[in-house]
Amino acid sequence: MTAIVLLLALGITLVLLEVIVPGGVLGVLGVLAMLGGCVLAFFDLGAQGGWIATVAAIGALGMSLFIEFKVLPRTRWGKKLFLDRAIEGASHEKPAEDVVVGKTGEAVTTMAPSGYVVVEGKRYEAVSQSGLIAKGTAVRVVGVNNFHLIVAQL
């Protein structure tokens, strides 16, 4: 009986620690420990005892997760563990909107086929649509693709 209780308690504890130490390992170990406790209950206590242990384990786990996700985030300690707002930003800002399409600029580096262009006083990374473009050549922006402009020689 002691082994059953210990396995169920260990399983619930490991599943709860999964939130603090993400990665899935503690959660999987916790579920396996709980399953082991339930199987052991079926062997030691029979079918009725096994079902009682299984229902008790599921109920305790549900209550623990409710407390962890509904009550804990409202506490002072829990506010340090959980994010309360979305993270906004990007690792690389978009070079331009479609408003630069059709505008002319100048290649500030040799484009073979990528390089840099200046359009309306701003420097952008660009890809040549028509192959090699020499430095100082006038170009027209024909499109925007992810993080660079697509240009063609005038």
- pLDDT attached to residue 92: 60
Per-residue pLDDT of the chain (154 residues), as tens digits, is: 889 999 999 998 998 888 778 788 988 898 899 999 999 999 999 999 999 999 988 998 888 888 888 888 888 887 887 777 777 776 666 656 677 889 999 999 999 989 999 998 888 899 998 889 999 999 999 988 877 899 999 8
- pLDDT attached to residue 76: 87
Cβ-defined contacts of 122-127 (< 8 Å, 24+): 122/96, 124/95, 124/96, 124/100, 124/148, 124/149, 125/95, 125/149, 126/150, 126/151, 127/151
CATH architecture of 98-153: Beta Barrel (2.40)
- pLDDT attached to residue 94: 60
What is the location of CATH 2.40.50.140 in the chain? 98-153
141: nearest Cα among 112, 108, 106: 106
Query: What is the three-state SS of 2-54?
Result: HHHHHHHHHHHHHHHHHHHCCCCHHHHHHHHHHHHHHHHHHHHHHHHHHHHHH
- pLDDT attached to residue 48: 93
pTM for the full predicted model: 0.49
- pLDDT attached to residue 104: 94
Alpha carbon 17 to chain centroid, angstroms? 19
Q: What is the DSSP string of 39-100?
A: HHHHHHHHHHHHHHHHHHHHHHHHHHHHIIIIIGGGSHHHHHHS--S-----SS--S--GGG
- pLDDT attached to residue 80: 80
